[in-house]
A = this chain, B = another copy of it.
Amino acid sequence: MPYDLIELLFFAYKDFTGDPDEVLAKFEFGRAHHRVLHFVERNPGIMVTDLLGILRITKQSLGRVLKQLVDAGIIEQREGMNDRRQRLLYTTDRGHTLAENLAHLQQKRLERALIGLPDGSEDIVRQFLLQMIDPEARVDILKLVRSPFPLKD
């Protein structure tokens, strides 16, 4: 039925990722770096394996991007206290600042998109987006995003 929503989502997502892209380009980083930075920022001390699981990419794909972020002083690796095989990931101060800047751009766009919509629209959009996700993945993603509202699943 809703044919136009396909296209609106396509263009909306394009602009949504476009804001960070401009900033990242100055650092010679791409979207892959953004994703890594974002999820490390949101999950300080995350294991490499778990990050791979979230991003659903291979170790090799992550490798290069992560190395560049570490070399640039954006992300820091610390040995696990319990398990010394682990290289737990944290953002540095610089990394934290960059991550906040990027998130801010996207939050601003989301806020602007909600302006003028009826009360409760944010929750409707939240619910909509959750239900766009494969049902099996929703529980895991809900834990990850720590959504501020009770979402009936």
Q: Using CB atoms and an 8 Å cutoff, list the residues of chain A in contact with chain B.
A: 1-16, 18, 35, 38, 42, 56, 103, 106-107, 109-118, 120-122, 124-134, 137, 141, 144-148, 152
Docked-complex contact A124 and B132, CB < 8 angstroms: no
Query: How many copies of this chain does one complex carry?
Result: 2
Q: Chain B residues near A120 (CB, 8 Å)?
A: 118
| Chain A contact residues, majority secondary structure | helix
Docked-complex contact B128 and A1, CB < 8 angstroms: no
Q: Which of B113, B117, B148 contacts A4 (CB 8 A)?
A: B148
Docked-complex contact B8 and A133, CB < 8 angstroms: yes
Docked-complex contact A131 and B146, CB < 8 angstroms: no
Docked-complex contact B110 and A121, CB < 8 angstroms: no
Docked-complex contact A7 and B141, CB < 8 angstroms: yes
9 A-B pairs within 8 Å (CB atoms) are namely A2-B110, A2-B122, A4-B147, A6-B103, A10-B35, A12-B129, A12-B132, A114-B128, A121-B124
Given contacts A111-B2, A112-B131, A132-B110, contact A16 B8 (CB under 8 A): no
Docked-complex contact B124 and A7, CB < 8 angstroms: no
Docked-complex contact B125 and A4, CB < 8 angstroms: no
CA–CA, A13 and B130, complex, Å: 10
Closest B residue, CB atoms, query A121: B124
CA–CA, A6 and B110, complex, Å: 8
Docked-complex contact A125 and B124, CB < 8 angstroms: yes
